[in-house]
Chains A and B, each alone.
Chain A
């Protein structure tokens, strides 16, 4: 059992939890993820690590309510426990393998969107702690759902914000900001992009024309997360890679995003039904197309 030490909502649908997991925090690195299972009957949910504290033995996760399991998890409070918490899983961010001297010579750009802004934080923080600068672009639909702004501002050199509705920062998409920066004459050596699949797809499309190497972090559907099931396979160039052992970070210019997007929808129907069941509980009486209650 793993205790929830802290919990706060970052916006209506996104929450942060600090979990007591000393074994996981001992060896974890930015870029890696964990698998969490709520209870005996829960599913194994992969979540990218948003922060860690080796001394306190904690891991921070940021979760968006997207289905029944992540909604159920949001009902838990400080002092409650989750049954399983395994990790760190996957490879550390490629940046952490480079020498600090080399990194200092590089111009590094992070592009985050939605809940994907959170896993950018440990990477930028790690660079900051090692005296390496980076710029960060974050995007959200509107100001009130933008997360981790304060945290990221502390660890980057320049923070650029874009919102779809123009309620904060530039009105537009993260790709518009990248284009603006390049128009102003800025150039980067590497871009790390984490966010919704469609966002990463378009970031990669743009950075390819800008000749900017781009790394993306994949969070496909997983079961065991240890390389055993192959559910998380993604096409990377000519190869099939498993996000759980070969990733989660890959060269964004080689990813077949359309396939990843199609695969992310495999359980949409089941997810929808589970959500309906959770929301309606005993009051459910048909309409899901599954239970026969509407016949």
Chain B
């Protein structure tokens, strides 16, 4: 039996707006999809979930129309279900493990989770959690998925939690990185943040920990007993090819931050954003897809340049599929070698070479090799580099005794998130390098437990 299709905005329509692509299940469709679930005795799906949500449990409640109960079940393990239902790579996690997927379509767990979370929001459902406050102060650095999760869990345990955020708005990558059409800000992200606030978590914006205040000042001067660092990845990488500093060459981070956080494409907001007529996006990850689809929506003819083939594209299949449907072009097995400009330093074209795939490299992926004499120019007036990030070590550098690895990532215990300093914990991209929302949430959860244990044992 096939899965119940979820309605989407048509590609033609959505390529011109920033409204959400996926419209979500109706109650009827959600129930129908839920009825496909076998409620396995040994639920593999749950093992595939980094935060171990009781998946068969909440799906069984959907079947019965008990959406409030379904929401309670999800909320036991996840603080951000409306986010996860939208941006988790379910195909490699819960849905990837679903027994139904062996001979047909896996249950659409992500879409069902989203349905429950949206239903809860629309019907103002709240999970009443009785919190016994213990008055112990914990600081959380960064309000992205790791920080929000860790703060939420600690608040439920009774801790007095303050989140320090460097930017003027909460959410981290959920706010500045992932575009509106995948993750609506006002309805979804802000609502999840408000829920964390309702648990009693305090937010302080414009605090760049490591600069505005050091970790040790937080501990000594402000009485925080433990710290969780979830400050995210960092500096965007560039290729190091000639012409990368020309006007209208952007990092995907800059382009997306302007549009998502600063709302630059709206006339009402003061921050500007350049948009070309023809835009090249270099890279093949989810961020590259986000940048390309944003550029397309701002009216540019958009081409993704990626050095390997379609099969190796690291982005989620769903995102690649959506991008193709909307009209993003793909120049695969292609690598830029130079960006060219006019006399004023504005981009006019990008010179690329064709690539072919050679032997698998250390990562197991076949490494691309240049095809000699295959250079060609692609006419573009804007280039967006989406090549990942490298760590910023502002916090580590300003925190004596906090150990980092050769990639400048903070070293932590896998189970507890504890760093080389016993009162400091960390998780998410700051420890792993650029990764996913759900893995950051998992790290936030583990660290919340780790912090709780640390506080309890150090009290004795």
User: B394: which of A23, A27, A224, A227 is its contact (CB, 8 Å)?
Assistant: A227
The segment from A39-47, A104-112, A176-184 that touches chain B is A39-47
Nearest chain A CB to B157 CB, angstrom units: 28
Are B270 and A43 closer than 8 Å at their CB atoms?
yes
Nearest chain B CB to A125 CB, angstrom units: 21
B303 on interface, CB distance cutoff 8 Å: no
Are B270 and A42 closer than 8 Å at their CB atoms?
yes
Are A41 and B248 closer than 8 Å at their CB atoms?
no
Residue of A nearest to B385 (CB): A230
B238 / chain A contacts, CB cutoff of 8 Å: 230, 233, 240
Are B212 and A24 closer than 8 Å at their CB atoms?
yes
B213 on interface, CB distance cutoff 8 Å: yes
Are B254 and A27 closer than 8 Å at their CB atoms?
no
Nearest chain A CB to B438 CB, angstrom units: 21
Nearest chain A CB to B259 CB, angstrom units: 11
B268 / chain A contacts, CB cutoff of 8 Å: 41
Q: List 19 A-B contacts (CB under 8 A).
A: A23-B213, A24-B212, A27-B211, A41-B263, A41-B270, A42-B270, A44-B271, A69-B270, A86-B167, A86-B206, A86-B208, A88-B211, A223-B254, A230-B254, A245-B235, A245-B392, A262-B344, A263-B247, A265-B247
Are A43 and B211 closer than 8 Å at their CB atoms?
no
User: B245: which of A229, A233, A274 is its contact (CB, 8 Å)?
Assistant: A233
Known: A37-B168, A44-B262. A235 touches B245 (CB 8 A): yes
B206 / chain A contacts, CB cutoff of 8 Å: 23, 84-86
Give the interface size bracket for B toward A.
35 or more
A139 on interface, CB distance cutoff 8 Å: no
In angstroms, Cα B262 to Cα A228, docked, is 14
* Contact string against A for B residues 213-244, beta-carbon threshold 8 Å, 1 for contact and 0 otherwise: 11001000000000000001011101010001
The 10 closest A-B pairs by CB, nearest first: A262-B345, A86-B206, A229-B254, A270-B272, A230-B251, A43-B271, A84-B168, A230-B236, A43-B270, A227-B392
6 more A-B residue pairs beyond the given contacts A224-B167, A256-B245, with a C-beta to C-beta distance below 8 A: A26-B213, A26-B217, A38-B270, A69-B270, A83-B168, A228-B232
B207 on interface, CB distance cutoff 8 Å: yes
Are B247 and A266 closer than 8 Å at their CB atoms?
yes
Nearest chain B CB to A232 CB, angstrom units: 9
B269 / chain A contacts, CB cutoff of 8 Å: 41, 43
Residue of B nearest to A278 (CB): B270
Give the interface size bracket for A toward B.
35 or more
Are B272 and A223 closer than 8 Å at their CB atoms?
no
In angstroms, Cα B262 to Cα A262, docked, is 23
Interface set, chain A 125-150, CB cutoff 8 A to B? none
A262 / chain B contacts, CB cutoff of 8 Å: 246-247, 344-345
Nearest chain A CB to B257 CB, angstrom units: 5
B167 / chain A contacts, CB cutoff of 8 Å: 86, 224, 226
Are B270 and A263 closer than 8 Å at their CB atoms?
no
A68 on interface, CB distance cutoff 8 Å: yes
User: A242: which of B212, B235, B250, B261 is its contact (CB, 8 Å)?
Assistant: B235
Residue of A nearest to B236 (CB): A230
Are B245 and A259 closer than 8 Å at their CB atoms?
yes
Interface set, chain B 139-175, CB cutoff 8 A to A? 166-168
Are B235 and A227 closer than 8 Å at their CB atoms?
yes
A87 on interface, CB distance cutoff 8 Å: yes
Known: A259-B345, A270-B272. A27 touches B214 (CB 8 A): yes
B39 on interface, CB distance cutoff 8 Å: no
User: B213: which of A27, A227, A259 is its contact (CB, 8 Å)?
Assistant: A27
Residues of B within 8 A of A (CB): 166-168, 176, 205-208, 211-214, 217, 232, 234-236, 238, 240, 244-248, 250-251, 253-254, 257-258, 261-263, 268-272, 274, 344-345, 392, 394
Known: A41-B269, A229-B253, A231-B254. A245 touches B345 (CB 8 A): no
B240 / chain A contacts, CB cutoff of 8 Å: 240
A218 / chain B contacts, CB cutoff of 8 Å: none
In angstroms, Cα B268 to Cα A41, docked, is 7
User: Which of B207, B234, B253 is packed against the most chain A CB atoms within 10 Å?
Assistant: B253
Nearest chain B CB to A2 CB, angstrom units: 8
A43 / chain B contacts, CB cutoff of 8 Å: 262, 269-272
A234 / chain B contacts, CB cutoff of 8 Å: 245
In angstroms, Cα B211 to Cα A267, docked, is 29
A271 on interface, CB distance cutoff 8 Å: yes
A89 on interface, CB distance cutoff 8 Å: yes
In angstroms, Cα B229 to Cα A201, docked, is 41
B392 / chain A contacts, CB cutoff of 8 Å: 226-228, 245
Are A223 and B211 closer than 8 Å at their CB atoms?
no
Nearest chain A CB to B217 CB, angstrom units: 8
B263 / chain A contacts, CB cutoff of 8 Å: 41
Nearest chain A CB to B420 CB, angstrom units: 23
Nearest chain A CB to B175 CB, angstrom units: 11
In angstroms, Cα B390 to Cα A240, docked, is 14
Are A87 and B247 closer than 8 Å at their CB atoms?
no
Are B251 and A89 closer than 8 Å at their CB atoms?
no
In angstroms, Cα B245 to Cα A88, docked, is 26
Interface set, chain A 235-267, CB cutoff 8 A to B? 235, 240, 242, 245, 256, 259, 262-263, 265-267
Residue of B nearest to A265 (CB): B247
In angstroms, Cα B238 to Cα A89, docked, is 22
B208 / chain A contacts, CB cutoff of 8 Å: 86-87, 89, 226
In angstroms, Cα B250 to Cα A262, docked, is 14
Are A230 and B272 closer than 8 Å at their CB atoms?
no
